[in-house]
A and B are shown apart, each in its own frame.
Chain A
Amino acid sequence: MCLGIPGRIVEIDDNPLMRMGKVDFGGVIREVCLAYVPEAQVGDYVIVHVGFAISRIDEEEAQETLRLLAEMGLSVSDELEGGKER
């Protein structure tokens, strides 16, 4: 139930009742409430739970994590000589 799906904001409707928008989930576009991510802009990635964005994905954090993981992955591949399967 705490499922959250990442998607990209493609449109924002700053409706005074509730900030809404359209979010692209890999091709499927859905109406999403953006009230909890007042800072989010078109083009940002958000995590959506039951129709509400609960966070704006911090791209720098994501990149940094991936970079660290890539380094770890590369060093292991080297050790395994060409990254053979275990």
Chain B
Amino acid sequence: MGEKRPGNSCALCTSAVETFEKLRGLCALVVKSKMTVTTFTDSFRDPDAARALAEAIRARSTRPIRLMEFCGGHTHAILRYGIPSLLPETIDLRSGPGCPVCVTSATDLDRAITLAQVPRAILTTFGDMVRVPGSRASLSQAKAQGADVRVVYSPLDALQIARQNPDRPVIFLGVGFETTAPMVASAVVAAETEGVGNFYVFSTHKLTPPATRAILDAGEVALDGIIGPGHVTTVIGSEAWRFLPDDYTIPVAIAGFEPLDILRAILALVEMIEEGKPDVANAYARSVRPEGNPAAQQVMERVFEIADADWRGFGTVPASGLRLREEYARFDAGRAFPVEVEPAREPPGCRCGEILRGVLRPPDCPLFARACTPEHPVGPCMVSAEGACAAYYRYGNLERRTAHVEREM
């Protein structure tokens, strides 16, 4: 499907050129005795090593397989570096639900927009959330109509706004997975310690293993392996994915975000699949430990408890979200400002839900690159930088990504 992007050159050529530029142009791999920041990025983009890994994958892969990258950051990196064009025909990569902005339900978004309209309230959140269309408006539209909506980089910045505006409720819209929930928990603990009484959190935080289970249990798309999210797993630990080989007999390989990290994870998955030995492989050991980050886990557990959560595309997934514990109820925006919203409407024609479940790919959506573009996004998957639609649009609709083996599920 050689979709053309309006006003742009051929997407396929652009991405191929980009791949080779990326692979050729970057510095050669030199193992230095002392690391520098660039060692952690450029070295993991080394073209020779990428080629070697691709060759090794090609040599090992005999049967058609489908792998899902859970994380939207991986989807972005995979397309940015043209990884599909390096892989053999046998490997089909599917994007998963790992875009926190995208999986935030329209109902939660509508609630957040209503919270932004609480008198004198300041609603704070991460940048991407502001542009996502809810049922009737987005936060940026609410802002245009007078709501005080502010983008912050860190939950600690939201806490700082609360300190500076003691007479106004400051609500932080918490989105994100286990990577982000600890920081929000830390902000709540700091607010408690300092006695900041006007800081509230509206938690839409979600847990990644239950969503992965939901996809596998639904059986809509057959998966042979999972590329595990690198920064979620930095927090929860690689052992948190043990259920994949144990309960579903499929392997998982935790990956970092540089091209070589992702290729190494794919190689590990291919090897485990070919050998019929599903296991948990850690291809991001410079950051991920088996037990994760205990300090981050502790603060998350102190402040949050596990609850059911609404996911766009999935509906309610049991025990897949985080809500503030009773002890922290006074920081809970949902309890402090109970708001009613009308039943949510999904953007008409948007297939984001199926894309998040790995059932469809962005080019399968009739609106993709036509009615829906990053400038005029119809659904959240085109808004967020981690959204699969945005990544496909930006880096081209790679032929290789669509010319995969068609296989009955």
Contact B186 A54 (CB under 8 A): no
In whole angstroms, how far apart are the Cα atoms of A54 and B354 in the complex?
A: 31
- What is the number of residues of chain A that contact chain B, defined by CB distance less than 8 Å? 45
In whole angstroms, how far apart are the Cα atoms of A6 and B230 in the complex?
A: 13
In whole angstroms, how far apart are the Cα atoms of A45 and B190 in the complex?
A: 25
Determine if A35 is an interface residue (Cβ-Cβ < 8 Å): yes
Contact B285 A61 (CB under 8 A): yes
In whole angstroms, how far apart are the Cα atoms of A6 and B43 in the complex?
A: 13
Contact B31 A47 (CB under 8 A): no
Type the 1/0 row for B112-129, where 1 means its CB is closer than 8 Å to any CB of A. 000000000000001010
Type the 1/0 row for A1-41, where 1 means its CB is closer than 8 Å to any CB of B. 11110111000000001100000111000000101111000
The A interface, classified by DSSP as helix, strand, loop or mixed, is mixed
Determine if B352 is an interface residue (Cβ-Cβ < 8 Å): no
Type the 1/0 row for A40-62, where 1 means its CB is closer than 8 Å to any CB of B. 00000101011110110111011
The interface stretch among B50-58, B195-203, B357-365 is B50-58
Of the A-B pairs whose beta carbons lie under 8 Å apart in the complex, a sample of 24, sorted by A's number, is A1-B101, A1-B175, A1-B384, A3-B73, A4-B257, A33-B156, A36-B182, A36-B295, A37-B293, A49-B183, A51-B154, A54-B234, A54-B293, A58-B285, A62-B286, A66-B29, A70-B46, A70-B49, A72-B53, A73-B48, A74-B48, A75-B52, A76-B48, A85-B24
Type the 1/0 row for B27-62, where 1 means its CB is closer than 8 Å to any CB of A. 001010001011111011010110111011000000
**Interface size band for B:** 35 or more
B265 to chain A, nearest CB (A): 12
Q: Name which residue of chain A comes closest to B386, CB basis.
A: A1
Chain B positions within 8 Å of A, measured between CB atoms, are 20, 24, 29, 31, 35, 37-41, 43-44, 46, 48-49, 51-53, 55-56, 71-73, 98-101, 126, 128, 153-157, 175-177, 179-180, 182-183, 186, 190, 193-194, 229-232, 234-235, 257, 260, 264, 285-289, 293, 295-296, 299, 384, 386
Contact A69 B288 (CB under 8 A): no
In whole angstroms, how far apart are the Cα atoms of A44 and B260 in the complex?
A: 23
